[in-house]
Every structure is written in C-alpha cells, then in structure tokens.
C-alpha cells in the first residue's frame, strides 16, 4: 500500500477514534431515526384519517358549544363557542390548582413540623396521617369525599352560619358587589361597572398582592437602613400598617362602594343571591390539598433533618426560643433541600387535577377533552389542546420555582 493510502486510512482511524466524534455521530443517528419515526406516525395517522373520512381543522372552536357547565369564572352558556369553553376549562383548572398549591403547602409544612415534634402523641398522629393519605390513590379519596358530600342535607335544609349555607350542592356564601346599595357612600368613584362580584374579587386580589409586595419593600428598606445606620426601624409595625392601609386605599379608589350580596331563601326553599361554590370544586380542592400535603410533609421533614443539629444547639445556647430557631435558622436552611422536590409536588397536583372528570368538575379535561371531543369528534385537536395547556402550566411552575431555587441557593466564593 502506498504512503498516501496509509495516511488516509490512518487519519480516518484517528477520526473515528475520537470520542467526541463518535458521540456526535451517535446523537445524529438517534435524531435521524426519531425524525423517521415521527414522519411515519404522522403519515400513517393522516392516511387513517382520510380513509375514515374524519374531519380535521380548528373551525369547530367557533361553533356553538351546545352545553353549559355548573361552574365558571367568566360568563358562559350553551350559546357560546367551543373556543369559549376552552377558556373556561383553563380558568377552572388554574383556579383549583393555584388554591390547592397554596393550601397543600401550608398544611404540608404544618404536618411536617408536627412529625418532628417531641410530643409522642402529636408525632404519631402526623405519622399515621402521612402514611394513610400517601398510600390511598387520589381517585379513591376523591370518590370518598364526594360520597360524604352526597350525605349532606339538601339546599332546603342547609346548615347555616353567618349567611353561609352548606348543603350537598356545595356552599352558598356572600359575594362582593361593586356599586351595591349597601355601600356606605351614595356614589361610585371607581372605574368598574356596577354589580360585578368577580370584578370586586379581582380588585381585592390585586390589592392584596400590592399589599404583600409593599410589606416586602418595607422589610428590605428596614434591612438596608439598619446596615447603614445601625438603628433598627419599627419594621413590624410599618409592615402591618402597609399590609392593611395599601389594600384599603386601592379598594377605595377602584371599587367603592363595595357591598355584600347575601344569599337568602325564597318561598320555594331555594337560595337567591350571593355566590355558589359547587360541591365538585370543594371535593376536588379538598382531595388535592390533603393528598399532596402528605407528600409535602415528608419533604419538609427530610429537609429539616438535613440541617445540622449544631445549628439548633447553637441557637439554644444563645437563648433563642424554639419558634425563633425554627423560623429564622432551620427553615431557611432547609428550604435549599425542600424546594426541588416541592416543585415536583406542585406539578403533580396540577396534573392530578385532571381527575376532576371523575366527579364532574368542568376542568380542561372534562370540557375540551371530554364533552367537546364527543360532540365534534375531533380527537386529535382536542387532545393536543389539552396536552398543550398542561405543558404550558407545568413549564411555568417549573420556571418560577427554579428562579426561587436559584435565589435561595448557596453562592460559592
């Protein structure tokens, strides 16, 4: 063999002997076969759809839905389109998931701390709660809670307390009303239309968020001032005043007067006025909260145990109370261990909300993935829309939690 042939074969051998080159070739082959598989599936699906005469496209979203749902945040009835019910399903999913995440976090932290209590009885009760709830499927728990609700009295015989009515249909309770005659001022100085309970709720929600961030600003301001001057301003008092005063000012400016629309029983035993939270929503929220809280409790327990005992002993030697030690020393350090698995539980709660279809709560699966799919027969579009919604929600939760995780992570110097 000539020298030229030897050098060529040698260079090829050296090229293939490079581990990075072999890795790129393997990755390229995997991507090629994946694209080949996807193209085959798309082609095969397209042929099957054409052979069976199945309609495709997104035109069904503008057609009338022809059905109503028992719970909606925005206005909807059977004359609205499938696109509108898609929006209603998204809002219902977001509502129960957001409230469930907040409640499950509080309950999970509470039970997790109790699990480490020095009191034997309290610790064992928390242990039994965690083990029982975690080992019973969520669907079974939802059916159990729903059965319990069915044993509650009818609306005509509701349990009543402070204008709240509890029955097997759910909870009827007072609703805020903008510009109602029960307001304390004779005119409406806000910019929202009258008699919009959800608008009042939105204003109060925004006011609460602004108040929360205002207190955070006061806290950071007090920290900066103490570092600069050595004097500690009355941060607690200022935060309390800000948390109360700022929301009140916002409500007064945007939505005054605000009254309460109270539910009242008419001559036929029916309730009129106020707002109704259906039993399906309460059952789903209760099931998601209790089930997820058991997993969060174990995450909190393991996070607290990951903190060195020397931290607690040092705090005790300084004379700090146990509550201060837990809130100011142990929990902040444990959060670095708690947050990553906590993110997974938030994602699980959001995806588990799809079990709402089993109890009749109109979330995205029950509306677009259920009734609309059965009416229109366009399964691919409906399932794709449902998958996209959960994908976007899950990625959003992951992004927010990852940002928070980076903020509390230890920074090496």
Whether the upstream peptide bond of residue 351 has omega within 30° of 0, thus cis, is no
Strand-strand pairing, 170-173 and 164-167: antiparallel
- Encoding tokens for residue 203? 């204003």
Q: Which residues of 150-251 form beta strands (DSSP E)?
A: 159-161, 164-167, 170-173, 175-178
CA distances from residue 94 to 142, 167, 353, 396 in whole angstroms, order as listed = 19, 25, 9, 12
As a whole number of Å, the end-to-end CA separation of the chain is 59
User: Which 3 state secondary structure label does DSSP give 400?
Assistant: helix
Q: Among candidates 413, 406, 396, which has minimal Cα distance to 335?
A: 406
- Digit-coded pLDDT (tens) for 25-71: 888 889 999 999 989 888 887 777 777 666 777 888 888 888 888 88
Residue 276, strand partner residues:
172
In angstroms, the CA 135 to CA 129 distance is 10
For residues 169 and 279, the answer to whether their CB atoms sit within 8 Å is yes
Q: What pLDDT score does 171 carry?
A: 82
Q: Is 191 helix (H, G, I), strand (E, B) or coil?
A: coil
The neighbouring-strand residues paired with 170 are 167, 278
Distance CA 301, CA 25 (A): 46
Provide the token pair at 235. 């941060």
Q: Can you point out the beta strands (E) in 66-182? A: 159-161, 164-167, 170-173, 175-178
Helix (H) or strand (E) holding 141: helix 138-150
| Cβ-proximal residues to 261 (8 Å cutoff; 6+ apart), any chain | 174, 175, 176, 177, 180, 197, 273, 274, 275
Least Cα distance to 347 among 398, 284, 406, 402 occurs for 398
Q: What is the pLDDT of residue 360?
A: 87
Q: What is the pLDDT of residues 340-379, one digit of tens each?
A: 999 999 999 999 999 998 888 988 998 988 888 888 888 8
Residue 143, Ramachandran bin (φ over 0: left; ψ between -120 and 50: alpha; else beta): alpha
Token output for 407: 């903020």
Q: How far apart are CA 136 and CA 140, in angstroms?
A: 7
**pLDDT for the residue numbered 258:** 59
pLDDT tens-digit map of 10-37: 566 666 666 777 778 888 889 999 999 9
| Class level of CATH domain 61-136+278-413 | mainly alpha
The number of C-alpha atoms within 13 Å of 104 and in the hemisphere containing its C-beta is 31
**Coil vs helix vs strand at 255:** coil
In terms of Cα–Cα distance, which of 99, 163, 160, 4 is closest to 292? 99
Strand-pairing partners, residue 261, are 175
* Helix 379-408 / helix 82-115 crossing angle, nearest 10 deg: 40
259, β-bridge pairs: 177
Residue ranges of the chain whose pLDDT lies below 70: 1-18, 52-54, 176-209, 211-212, 230-240, 242-261, 265-270, 273, 410-413
Residue 270 tokens, joined: 């029916």
- pTM of the full structure: 0.77
Burial tier of 391 (Cβ tally within 10 Å: 0-12, 13-18, 19+): exposed
Please return the burial class of 321, using the count of CB atoms within 10 Å of its CB with bins 0-12, 13-18 and 19+: exposed
The confidence score (pLDDT) of residue 236 equals 67
Q: Check if the beta carbon of residue 224 is closer than 8 Å to that of residue 233.
A: no
């Amino acid at each position: 063999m000539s020298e030229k042939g030897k050098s060529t074969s040698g260079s090829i051998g050296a090229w293939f002997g490079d581990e990075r080159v072999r890795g790129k070739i393997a990755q390229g082959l995997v991507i090629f076969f994946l694209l080949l598989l996807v193209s085959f599936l798309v082609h095969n699906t397209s042929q099957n759809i054409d052979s069976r005469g199945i309609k495709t496209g997104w035109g069904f979203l503008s057609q009338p839905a022809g059905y109503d749902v028992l719970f909606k945040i925005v206005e909807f009835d059977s004359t609205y389109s499938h696109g509108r019910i898609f929006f209603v399903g998204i809002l219902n999913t977001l509502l129960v998931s957001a409230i469930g995440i907040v409640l499950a976090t509080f309950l999970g932290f509470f039970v997790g701390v109790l699990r480490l209590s020095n009191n034997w009885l309290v610790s064992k009760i928390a242990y039994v709660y965690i083990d029982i709830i975690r080992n019973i499927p969520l669907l079974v728990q939802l059916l159990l809670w729903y059965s319990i609700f069915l044993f509650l009295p009818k609306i005509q015989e509701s349990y009543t307390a402070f204008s709240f009515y509890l029955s097997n249909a759910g909870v009827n309770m007072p609703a805020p009303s903008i510009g109602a005659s029960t307001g304390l001022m004779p005119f409406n100085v806000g910019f929202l239309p009258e008699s919009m309970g959800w608008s009042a709720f939105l204003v109060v929600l925004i006011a609460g968020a602004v108040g929360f961030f205002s207190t955070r600003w006061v806290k950071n301001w007090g920290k900066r001032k103490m570092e600069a001057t050595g004097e500690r301003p009355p941060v607690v008092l200022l935060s309390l005043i800000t948390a109360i005063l700022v929301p009140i000012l916002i409500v007064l400016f945007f939505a005054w007067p605000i009254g309460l629309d109270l539910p009242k029983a008419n001559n036929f035993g029916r309730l009129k006025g106020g707002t109704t939270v259906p039993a399906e929503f309460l059952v789903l929220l209760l099931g998601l909260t209790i089930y997820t809280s058991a997993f969060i409790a174990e995450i909190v327990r393991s996070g607290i145990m990951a903190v060195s005992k020397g931290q607690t002993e040092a705090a005790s030697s300084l004379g700090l109370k146990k509550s201060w030690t837990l809130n100011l020393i142990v929990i902040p350090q444990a959060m670095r261990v708690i947050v990553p698995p906590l993110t997974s539980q938030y994602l699980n709660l959001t995806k588990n909300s799809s079990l709402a279809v089993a109890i009749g709560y109109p979330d995205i699966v029950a509306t677009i993935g259920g009734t609309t799919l059965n009416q229109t027969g366009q399964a691919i579009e409906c399932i794709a829309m449902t998958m996209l919604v959960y994908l976007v929600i899950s990625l959003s939760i992951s992004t927010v939690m990852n940002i928070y995780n980076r903020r509390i992570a230890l920074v090496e110097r």
